Amino acid sequence: MHGFRAAFAGSRREPGIGRSTIALDKRSAKSFIRINDRIRAREIRVIDENGEQLGILPPFEALKIARERGLDLVEVSPNAVPPVCRIQDYGRFLYEKEKSERAARKRQKVIVVKEVKFSVTVDEHDYQTKKNQAVRFLTEGDKVKASLRFRGRQMAHRELGYNIINRLIQDIGDAGLVEFMPRMEGTILHAILAPSKKEQPKPRPPQPPQQQAPSAVS
């Protein structure tokens, strides 16, 4: 009896449907695209492989046409009324879809904030090296965090740090746009620069805090 059922089940398999169809079903389930006999609408608008409108048909009639042409019936607009289905090679459809998505991801620029660190005692050569790094990062489309840490007694001379960061902003010129003006957070002075947009004016950096002159002793 079990052998008869197995043979009967095997005889019901439609011609031309084998491992390749199973693979397509798994790929369609992964991408949430209905194909062939998974299309549940009562009526669908059908477009053939040449872009010609075949009108509104029951899914089984459209699927019959697709299989006669050795192609698949793919639901391309499930939210339309009625849903739109296209007769095409589903494997080719997925390939082109994945190819266009990869191209779109490549065109997307991921903006990274790269830090350039200074010290109050930075020498001229080191300053120029770090400035050139900042310019390169900006021209590559990344943001730059220019930071300067005060150590010990240097906190009494914060104007020196402001002078360095403000000089950097001026030296970068049109390559960068100040997104966050220089400000203190604990013992760190920092500013954020973004790639320049020519239509936006460059803000003027704030002046460093003025140190009070010691009062004369009488």
User: Does residue 29 carry a pLDDT above 70?
Assistant: no
pTM (predicted TM-score): 0.44
Q: Tens of pLDDT along 44-56? A: 999 999 889 999 9
Q: Give the contacts of 183 (CB within 8 A, at least 6 positions apart).
A: 189, 190, 191
Q: 155-198 pLDDT, tens per residue? A: 999 999 999 999 999 999 889 899 999 999 999 999 999 998 75
pLDDT at 42: 92
**Which has the minimum average pLDDT: 16-20, 62-66, 96-100, 146-150?**
16-20
Q: What is the mean pLDDT of residues 4-12?
A: 42
- Return the structure tokens found at 125: 């050569």
CB hemisphere CA count around 87 (13 angstroms) = 25
Is the distance from CB of 143 to CB of 177 less than 8 angstroms? Answer: no
202 pLDDT tier (thresholds 50, 70, 90): very low
Provide the percentage of residues in the chain whose pLDDT is more than 70.
76
pLDDT band at 210 (very low <50, low <70, confident <90, very high): low
Choice among 58-62, 64-68, 85-89, 210-214 with the minimum mean pLDDT: 210-214
Lowest mean pLDDT: which of 51-55, 63-67, 99-103, 195-199?
195-199
Separation between Cα atoms, residue 46 and residue 85, nearest integer Å: 5
CB 35 within 8 A of CB 22: no
pLDDT value at 133 more than 90: yes
Residue 198's pLDDT is what? 55
Look at residue 192 in the predicted model and tell me its pLDDT. 94
For the cut 70, the answer to whether the pLDDT of residue 206 exceeds it is no
**pLDDT at residue number 149:** 93
117-154: b or e for each residue (b if 16 or more CB lie within 10 Å)? ebebebeeeebeebbeebbebbeeebbbbbbbebeeeb
